[in-house]
């Protein structure tokens, strides 16, 4: 493995203490590499392992530049930090060390205190910028979240994109505010007491503006992904590629003060070398943390139900801190009425939801009809903070033809119930922007590619994907600006009903999760969940620090009588979603828990507690 330093970025264009540009480009099979600026053509000298290097005072921060390999067409820097003119334009030299950080007193939260809020920078505010996002931080504090999760910000074509089509992993989307804007946002978040998680994509790059292959063997034909060529982590010339992505991880943590990374679809990363790339990333992040004293987390999206990803390195794992758990979402959505087709076909509803509480993985060795094979392993970790759960996210909304949120698919009462199911779990909960006020706008799939052939291919692909759903209408045009505008949050709804009530309800759920010991504890050994299939009810018990919590969830369309445990007495109501303060049909009743059973209204949840010594 090529030696990697954690003290500073070493590839691309970086500025030393003398103000000189230190330039390094990986082009292992090139005969000549030149840097082209407005005033100069500067040759780079060949160094070890396929790198080309130059130290010059002729390039200053803010200057545009290109590279030319073997005298061919000029291209942007593969490790560019700034692309003001888009993915096809020149790179812009940027000094990462120029920003004046004021977050020296910031200490990242323990992972178990993360309450995540996923957002898309472009549609979160009318302006769609980091600066506008800053103006909403007080609102997020009022809601009670502790960490925002930014969907990918790596430079993508145009100004409208989910972010998973990025082609410059080091460059921050210029229309959002660029690298300086992201540094300012993170600094401000830390001043407010909010952690920042960044979504990054290391399994593929987008199709437009992807020039990496012209420099070196960044991609391999050995494997394929659903989104294009696989990144070369274990084939010939893979060392330069591995260094490229490891340094990218280190840059976000060291130079942007990002607190955690969410790595997209790591099951699509193909690496059969002796040391998996995730394990290597873990090693260098540990080194960085030892040097800086700052804590950073590595969270992966992974649907393999494989303990290896989150197991410690010393036990043969890759050492990731946490993973997303789609199966909790799938079981919850089927329980709340989602049709059992596609990937929902494997889930039977409330019994699988109870299993998701008890065992985390629903499939931990059983036969999966959807996958047509036995699937999964039993979870070894007892730490609930190693798993991120949600009732909706960008994928499961935006991959629907019409991009409907739960606000459009479920009743107001059921929305409150599924929110409670997530926030009462022993896992890390994640909200998707706007769900906390029942935002009715969809979150649609949108792009703004400039290549006409690619634009048409995207349109045709989207139509073909939903051809079987023609009775529901046409899939919105992903290239149209109206599709993007229709996906923006409507902040004015916060002052209207029933949105204001939903917001207060989320606030109260979050407050209870933080304040009640039994709900705050994330030990998977201190809970039990039992489903009643006939009633469509679920009893969730949790306990810690002298307190028991009883959560009764009724997913049916009828009131259901549920027993109160007889081994404890003096149950105290913490929240009942069916009551009028939360927009429900029932008047508050102080005698609700006086007997040995309680009638829980349709599509509602009741949370009560019993302190013991």
**pLDDT single digits (tens) 562-589:** 999 877 668 999 999 999 999 999 999 9
Q: What is the mean pLDDT of residues 186-190?
A: 98
Q: Determine if residue 328 is labeled as part of a ligand binding site.
A: yes
- Parent domain of 581: 530-611
Q: Determine if residue 396 is labeled as part of a ligand binding site.
A: yes
Q: Determine if residue 281 is labeled as part of a ligand binding site.
A: no
H-run or E-run covering 164: none
Residues 56-72 pLDDT 10s = 999 999 999 999 999 99
The label of the residue with tokens 């407010």 reads 192
Sequence-ordered list of residues with C-beta below 8 angstroms from that of 99, at least 6 positions apart, any chain:
180, 183, 184, 187
Q: Is residue 392 part of a domain?
A: no
Q: Is residue 549 part of a domain?
A: yes
Residues 522-545 pLDDT 10s = 999 999 999 999 999 999 999 998
Q: What is the mean pLDDT of residues 52-57?
A: 97
Q: Which of 382, 352, 376 minimizes the C-alpha distance to 364? A: 376
Q: What is the mean pLDDT of residues 230-258?
A: 97
| Residue 470 clears pLDDT 50, i.e. is over it | no
CATH number of the domain at 588, please.
2.60.40.1180
**Domain end call among 324, 357, 376:** 324
CA distance 578 to 587: 8
**Domain end call among 324, 355, 374:** 324
Residue numbers annotated as active site: 264, 301
Q: Determine if residue 352 is labeled as part of a ligand binding site.
A: no
| Residue 30 clears pLDDT 70, i.e. is over it | yes
Q: Which of 101, 105, 369 minimizes the C-alpha distance to 254? A: 101
Q: Which of 81, 189, 173 minimizes the C-alpha distance to 128? A: 173
Q: Determine if residue 149 is labeled as part of a ligand binding site.
A: no
**Domain end call among 324, 345, 361:** 324
CA distance 129 to 131: 5
Number of domains, the chain: 2
Q: State the alpha helices, DSSP H only, in 89-237.
A: 121-124, 130-134, 137-143, 178-192
Q: What is the mean pLDDT of residues 312-337?
A: 96
User: pLDDT class for 435, splitting at 50, 70, 90?
Assistant: very high
Q: Determine if residue 63 is labeled as part of a ligand binding site.
A: no
Please tell me the predicted confidence (pLDDT) of residue 613.
39
Q: Is residue 499 part of a domain?
A: no
Q: What is the mean pLDDT of residues 91-106?
A: 97
Q: Determine if residue 264 is labeled as part of a ligand binding site.
A: yes
Q: Is residue 545 part of a domain?
A: yes
Q: Determine if residue 470 is labeled as part of a ligand binding site.
A: no
CATH number of the domain at 296, please.
3.20.20.80
Q: Which two tokens stand for residue 602?
A: 């349709």
CA distance 422 to 362: 16
pTM score, two decimals? 0.97
Q: Determine if residue 413 is labeled as part of a ligand binding site.
A: no
Q: What average pLDDT does the chain have?
A: 95
In the chain, the percentage of residues whose pLDDT exceeds 70 is 98
564 in Cβ contact with 596 (< 8 Å):
yes
Q: Is residue 362 part of a domain?
A: no
Q: Determine if residue 399 is labeled as part of a ligand binding site.
A: yes
Q: Is residue 152 part of a domain?
A: yes
User: pLDDT class for 183, splitting at 50, 70, 90?
Assistant: very high
| Residue 1 clears pLDDT 80, i.e. is over it | no
Q: Is residue 513 part of a domain?
A: no
Residues 408-422 pLDDT 10s = 999 999 999 999 999
Q: Is residue 541 part of a domain?
A: yes
């Amino acid at each position: 493995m090529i030696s990697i330093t954690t003290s500073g970025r070493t590839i691309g264009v970086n500025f030393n203490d003398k103000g000189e540009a230190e330039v390094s480009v990986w082009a292992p099979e090139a005969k000549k590499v030149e840097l082209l600026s407005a005033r100069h053509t500067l040759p780079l000298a060949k160094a070890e392992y396929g790198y080309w290097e130059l130290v010059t005072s002729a390039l200053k921060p803010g200057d545009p530049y290109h590279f030319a390999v073997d005298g061919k067409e000029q291209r942007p820097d593969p490790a560019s930090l700034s692309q003001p003119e888009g993915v096809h334009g020149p790179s812009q030299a940027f000094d990462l060390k120029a920003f004046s950080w004021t977050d020296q007193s910031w200490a990242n939260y323990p992972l178990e205190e993360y309450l995540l809020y996923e957002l898309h920078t472009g549609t979160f505010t009318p302006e769609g910028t980091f600066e506008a996002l800053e103006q909403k931080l007080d609102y997020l504090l009022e809601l009670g979240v502790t960490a925002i999760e930014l969907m990918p910000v790596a430079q993508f074509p145009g100004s409208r994109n989910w972010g998973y089509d990025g082609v410059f992993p080091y460059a921050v989307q210029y229309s959002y505010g660029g690298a300086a804007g992201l540094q300012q946002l993170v600094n401000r978040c830390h001043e407010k007491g909010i952690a920042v998680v960044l979504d990054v994509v290391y399994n593929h790059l987008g199709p437009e503006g992807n020039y990496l292959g012209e420099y070196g063997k960044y991609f391999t034909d050995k494997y394929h992904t659903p989104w294009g060529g696989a990144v070369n982590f274990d084939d010939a010339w893979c060392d330069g590629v591995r260094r490229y992505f490891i340094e990218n991880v280190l840059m976000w943590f060291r130079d942007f003060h990002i607190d955690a990374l969410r790595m997209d679809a790591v099951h699509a990363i193909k690496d059969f070398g002796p040391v998996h790339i995730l394990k290597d990333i873990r090693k260098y992040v540990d080194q960085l943390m030892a040097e800086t004293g700052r804590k950073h987390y590595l969270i992966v999206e992974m649907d393999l139900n494989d303990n290896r990803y989150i197991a410690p390195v010393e036990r043969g794992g890759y050492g990731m801190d946490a993973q997303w758990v789609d199966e909790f979402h799938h079981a919850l959505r089927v329980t709340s009425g989602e049709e059992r087709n596609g990937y929902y076909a494997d889930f039977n509803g409330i019994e699988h939801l109870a299993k998701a509480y008890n065992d985390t993985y629903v499939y931990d060795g059983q036969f999966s009809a959807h996958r047509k094979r036995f699937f999964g392993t039993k979870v070894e970790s007892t730490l609930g903070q190693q798993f991120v759960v949600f009732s909706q996210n960008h994928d499961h909304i935006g991959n629907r033809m019409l991009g409907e949120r739960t606000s459009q698919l479920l009743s107001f009462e059921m929305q409150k119930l599924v929110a409670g199911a997530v926030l009462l779990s022993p896992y890390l909960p994640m909200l998707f922007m706007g769900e906390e006020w029942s935002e009715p706008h969809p979150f649609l799939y949108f792009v703004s590619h400039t290549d006409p052939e690619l634009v048409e291919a995207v349109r045709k692909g989207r139509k073909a994907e939903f051809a079987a759903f023609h009775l529901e209408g046409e899939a919105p045009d992903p290239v149209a600006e109206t599709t993007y505008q229709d996906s923006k949050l409507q902040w004015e709804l916060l002052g209207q009903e029933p949105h204001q009530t939903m917001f207060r309800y989320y606030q109260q759920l979050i407050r209870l999760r933080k304040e009640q010991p039994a709900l705050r504890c994330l030990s998977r050994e201190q809970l039990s969940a039992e489903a009643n299939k006939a009633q469509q009810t679920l009893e969730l018990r949790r306990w810690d620090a002298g307190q028991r919590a009883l959560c009764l969830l009724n997913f049916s369309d009828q009131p259901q009588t549920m027993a109160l445990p007889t081994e404890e007495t003096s149950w105290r109501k913490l929240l009942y979603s069916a009551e009028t303060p939360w927009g429900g049909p029932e008047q508050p009743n102080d005698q609700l828990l006086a007997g040995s059973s309680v009638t829980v209204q349709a599509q509602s949840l009741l949370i009560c507690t019993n302190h013991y010594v």
